[in-house]
Amino acid sequence: MKISIIKEFHMLLFLTILITTTNVKLVAQDLTAREVIDKIKENVTCEWTEETVDTFKAGNPDQKVTGIATTFIATMDVLKKAKDLNSNLIITHEPTFYNHLDETSHLINDPVYQAKLKFIEDNNLIIFRFHDHIHRTNPDGIVAGMMEKLEWKDNVVDENQLILQFDRMYVGELASELKKTFDKSPIRVIGDPNMSFTKVALSPGAPGYRAHLRLLERDDVEVLVAGEVPEWESITYVRDAIGADMKKAMILIGHVNSEEAGMKYCAEWLNGFLDNIPIHFVPAGDPFYIPR
């Protein structure tokens, strides 16, 4: 009888410790948005710089996080989906308020800005931009996500994951494959669809002046797959290269298409060190479509 009582006591003690420990863990993961970002800063492989666009853009950073939504860009549609998912922290790759620094002083009386800000405030949403450091960490989270989506990981031949080697194929063939991947989007091609090639560069997003040209100048780049670019810049460069009988071509898949998979990768990455917080990837989607 005494042995039975002792066993029951030990079992009760074990359950008490287990419940207490579990509760402590849950409390420990009851994080504010600021604490979530602090954990991100601890887990990137690069030094976190002070001069960065990676800052809070709206909401109260000291509010408790009910869920996280990662996205390419925090459009109104994305914010509504995040609200429906009970995700009050939105981690976005691109600006929320229509300019790189998210400056809003010139938007105070703008009706679109007012409507968006009201929705954010009414629903206690918090927006943080994660742009610079997801690119600087190793691996670059945006490029890693795109390589997974495009299934090009085995084609990478440089440490930056931007230069790729393919079995000989044709420009039109590659464009068709990209069209299947981004089936609802217009894919634009500059160059001869019958040009054969093996050497490709990937340039996600809108990398800025001369970034495309530095890739196109290389002997180990015949085709550049890019997000977006001013049409008077590298597009004209490719046209002139073709006019000079050089083997060059360019395929534009759009800014969103060229980076969005990176924020899906971001959600998976966050799951690696954030426990007990629901994390969702919410696609913004390509805004362009092909009219019928």
249 burial via Cβ count (<10 Å: 0-12, 13-18, 19+):
buried
- Give, for 49, the enclosing helix (H) or strand (E): none
Give the CA distances from residue 289 to residues 192, 214, 234, 262, in Å, rounded to whole numbers and listed in that order.
Answer: 24, 30, 23, 21
Instruction: Identify the CA nearest to 133 among candidates 220, 219, 38.
Output: 38
CB 146 within 8 A of CB 261: yes
- What's the whole-number mean pLDDT along residues 19-38? 66
The average pLDDT across 55-75 equals 98
Q: What pLDDT sits at residue 290?
A: 87
Span 98-156, pLDDT tens digits? 999 999 999 999 999 999 999 999 999 999 999 999 999 999 999 999 999 999 999 99
**How far apart are the C-alpha atoms of 127 and 97, rounded to whole Å?**
11
Q: Which residue has the higher pLDDT, 17 or 230?
A: 230
pTM of the model: 0.88
Average pLDDT of the residues of the chain: 91
- Percent of the chain residues topping a pLDDT of 90: 85
Is residue 53 within 8 A of residue 64, CB to CB? The reply is no
CA torsion sign, 266 to 153 to 45 to 134?
negative
pLDDT for 1 beyond 60: no
pLDDT grade for 242, boundaries at 50, 70 and 90: very high
**What pLDDT score does 292 carry?**
83
Question: Residue 78 pLDDT more than 80?
Answer: yes
Burial 206-242 (b: 16+ CB within 10 A, else e): bbeeebbeebbeeeebbbbbbbbbeeeebbebbeebb
Q: Which helix (H) or strand (E) holds 258?
A: helix 255-270
First to last CA, the chain: 83
pLDDT at 23 (0 to 100): 39
